[in-house]
Amino acid sequence: MWSYVLRRLLLMVPTLLGVLALTFAVIQFVPGGPVEQMVAQLEGRQGGGETAARATGYRGRQGVEPAQLEEIRKLYGFDKPPLERFWQMLKSFARFDLGQSFHHHQDVWSLVRQKLPVSISLGLWTFVLSYLISVPLGIAKAVRAGSRFDAVSSLLVLAGYAIPGFVLGVALLVLFGGGSLLAWFPLRGLTSANWDELSVGAKVVDYLWHITLPVTASVLGSFAVITMLTKNTFLEEIGKQYVITARAKGLDERRVLWRHVLRNASIPLITGFPAAFIGAFFTGSLLIETLFSLDGLGLLGYEAVMRRDYPVVLGTLYLFTLIGLVTRLIGDLCYVWVDPRVRFD
């Protein structure tokens, strides 16, 4: 197993380099970069749209002196060749220095830490509720396979899976956020304006009051995958010989399901657990965060791309790709932990 782990760790290096190199190469050809935006501001225009459209050679930069343009390029590090900039970026990333944001004027680590609580709130609640509801529901569907309960519950979870989260979010705001009918929940934010003045109990209630609609919009679509996976794995295990033997010996049906079937049927669920758990901390839903005015990682990434804030784009990409690769390795190792019969060779 250790040789397998070593090989996987070594394979992470070219994978990570490939992702960064591809993204860095694409960035070199994207118009409207920080230099063009600064030139546009100096020329008195709002935004870099016009200059970005004619970025090649910076034609039309009347009013900006060559020396001033060179200072701008040096300010953003574009005075060096692309390969040199890429090599410097890799050396910084090796020290886990993610760089300095062009727009926010602070290091990328600080930005990630600032935005992470919002994404944790959405992701963690989505993760917990998905497993707490979907796993028992999948077991119940497997036990009652072919019944009316199975058919109706399948229809409901698949309908929820088919509805996009942002569409459901709009509907929830219209129905329960004071849009047209009921004003039961707030429209935006994770807390009220007087959060600091509230007691501990009132803060908990206020937080749950604000998070209800965003979490509902995020979690509904995740029920279907886990529910159907649980149902199918249980059905497969229930039909095996050891279950028939246990029932023939007179074991209680509940004991057969929860002590024998569950252990074997939970292998796909447990092996996917690390990725789902880590993803809960670093998953940002742009549309949900924008819809409910939540300033999280999803909105940070979108704004970084739109503003051509390349250190944020590349820094967060490096961080999340590295976390994703390590999480996949942990998920694979969970196979051995759950089922000792698995051999990586």
The answer to which of 52-61, 94-103, 210-219, 251-260 has the lowest mean pLDDT is: 52-61
Q: Are both 74 and 121 inside the same structural domain? A: no
Q: Is residue 20, in this structure, part of any structural domain at all?
A: no
Range 26-42 average pLDDT: 79
Q: Please name every residue paired with 100 in a beta bridge, in sequence order, or none if there are none.
A: 107
Report the predicted TM-score, pTM, of the whole model to 2 decimal places: 0.74
Q: Would you tell me how many other CB atoms lie within 10 Å of the CB of residue 4?
A: 15
Q: Are both 177 and 225 inside the same structural domain? A: yes
Q: Give tens-digit pLDDT for 155-170.
A: 999 888 888 888 888 8
Q: Are both 52 and 155 inside the same structural domain? A: no
In this prediction, residue 44 carries a pLDDT of 65
Rounded Cα distance, 275 and 272, in Å:
6
Look-up of token digits 């796993």: 135
Query: Looking at the predicted structure, is the pLDDT value of residue 174 above 60?
Result: yes
Range 290-319 average pLDDT: 86
Q: Are both 145 and 239 inside the same structural domain? A: yes
Highest-pLDDT range among 73-77, 110-114, 115-119, 295-299: 110-114
Q: Are both 225 and 178 inside the same structural domain? A: yes
CATH number at residue 241: 1.10.3720.10
Rounded Cα distance, 2 and 236, in Å:
32
Q: Is residue 228, in this structure, part of any structural domain at all?
A: yes
Q: Would you tell me how many other CB atoms lie within 10 Å of the CB of residue 183?
A: 11
Q: Is residue 153, in this structure, part of any structural domain at all?
A: yes
Range 60-68 average pLDDT: 64
In this prediction, residue 50 carries a pLDDT of 46
Query: Looking at the predicted structure, is the pLDDT value of residue 296 above 50?
Result: yes
Range 110-118 average pLDDT: 87
Q: Are both 150 and 221 inside the same structural domain? A: yes
Q: Are both 167 and 246 inside the same structural domain? A: yes
Highest-pLDDT range among 234-243, 270-279, 312-321: 312-321
Q: Give tens-digit pLDDT for 180-227.
A: 677 788 877 788 878 878 888 888 888 888 888 888 888 887 788 889
Q: Are both 225 and 282 inside the same structural domain? A: yes
Give the domain extent around 196. 116-308
Q: Would you tell me how many other CB atoms lie within 10 Å of the CB of residue 91?
A: 10
Nearest to 319 by CA among 306, 334, 304: 304
Q: Is residue 215, in this structure, part of any structural domain at all?
A: yes
* Residues 336/342, Cβ–Cβ less than 8 Å: yes
Q: Are both 138 and 278 inside the same structural domain? A: yes
Look-up of token digits 């429209």: 187
Q: Are both 272 and 202 inside the same structural domain? A: yes
In terms of Cβ atoms closer than 10 Å to its own Cβ (0-12, 13-18, 19+), residue 289 is buried
Q: Is residue 331, in this structure, part of any structural domain at all?
A: no
Q: Are both 136 and 265 inside the same structural domain? A: yes
Q: Is residue 97, in this structure, part of any structural domain at all?
A: no
Q: Is residue 106, in this structure, part of any structural domain at all?
A: no
- Give, in degrees to the nearest 5, the angle at Cα 238 between 329 and 236: 50
Read off the tokens for 73: 């390029």
Q: How many domains does the chain have?
A: 2
Task: From residue 335, give the alpha-carbon distance in Å to each of 8, 139, 237.
Answer: 15, 21, 17
Q: Is residue 108, in this structure, part of any structural domain at all?
A: no
Q: Are both 134 and 210 inside the same structural domain? A: yes
